[in-house]
């Protein structure tokens, strides 16, 4: 009898071990499924609206504008007619060196190459006298974005430097963005938000 008990013990222990492994696998599978579900939720999130301030369309254009300040558009490497403008030669050289040294091309940094696929309602604010990101880039973003004309706005703030609209007129800056987002988020019908009255902005000390 003692021998029979000793022989059955390993079998019982083996069953316990197998059940434990099975339970662990179920837990692992549940965790994996939960992670996959969370990932799907993240990827399925929809951007309802987007507002930008002095955004650039591509880093290459920013670099080009900076180079243009120091090398006039008409300047050429040699005086012979028809040669590559000096500023273009410098810009292309910078892009080539950057690609070789850092592994990326400034032309591919920025939203310009993906703008056609953008359908999100879009508010584009830009300073008219922007010396960092020329205002022309705001027009490029507006023109190349796939957003329907009635769902995108371009507001150029006069007599303002790079990202200076907020500091020049804080009330008007906030009012422009809130008005745009209010229409998209439909906060008047949401229990999580309190709809605002236009008079509240006029009487506030924001």
- Give residue-wise pLDDT tens across range 160-181: 999 999 999 899 999 999 999 8
pTM passes above 0.85: no
What are the residues whose beta carbons fall under 8 Å from the beta carbon of 165, sequence distance 6 or more?
53, 125, 127, 157, 173
Residue 37 CA from chain centroid, whole number: 24
In this structure, the number of other CB atoms found within 10 A of the CB of residue 123 comes to 20
Contact 126, 135 (CB under 8 A): yes
CB contact set of 52 (below 8 Å; sequence gap of 6+): 122, 123, 124, 125, 141
pLDDT in tens, 23-81: 556 555 665 566 666 655 555 566 788 999 999 999 899 888 888 777 655 554 444 45
């Amino acid at each position: 009898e003692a021998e029979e008990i000793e022989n059955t013990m390993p079998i019982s222990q083996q069953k316990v071990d197998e059940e434990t492994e099975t339970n662990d696998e179920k837990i692992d599978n549940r965790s994996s499924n939960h992670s996959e579900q969370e990932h799907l939720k993240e990827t399925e999130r929809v951007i309802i609206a987007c507002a930008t301030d002095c955004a650039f369309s591509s880093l290459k254009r920013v670099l080009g504008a900076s180079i243009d300040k120091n090398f006039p558009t008409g300047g050429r490497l040699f005086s012979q007619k028809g040669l590559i403008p000096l500023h273009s030669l410098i810009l292309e050289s910078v892009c080539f060196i950057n690609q070789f040294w850092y592994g990326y091309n400034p032309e591919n940094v920025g939203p310009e190459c993906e703008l056609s696929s953008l359908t999100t309602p879009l508010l584009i604010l830009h300073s008219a006298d922007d010396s960092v990101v020329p205002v022309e880039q705001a027009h490029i973003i507006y023109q190349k974005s796939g957003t329907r004309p009635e769902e995108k706005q371009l507001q150029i703030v006069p007599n303002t430097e790079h990202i200076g609209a907020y500091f020049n007129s804080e009330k008007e800056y906030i009012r422009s963005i809130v008005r745009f987002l209010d229409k998209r988020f439909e906060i008047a019908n949401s229990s999580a938000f309190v709809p605002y009255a236009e008079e509240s902005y006029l009487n506030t000390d924001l």
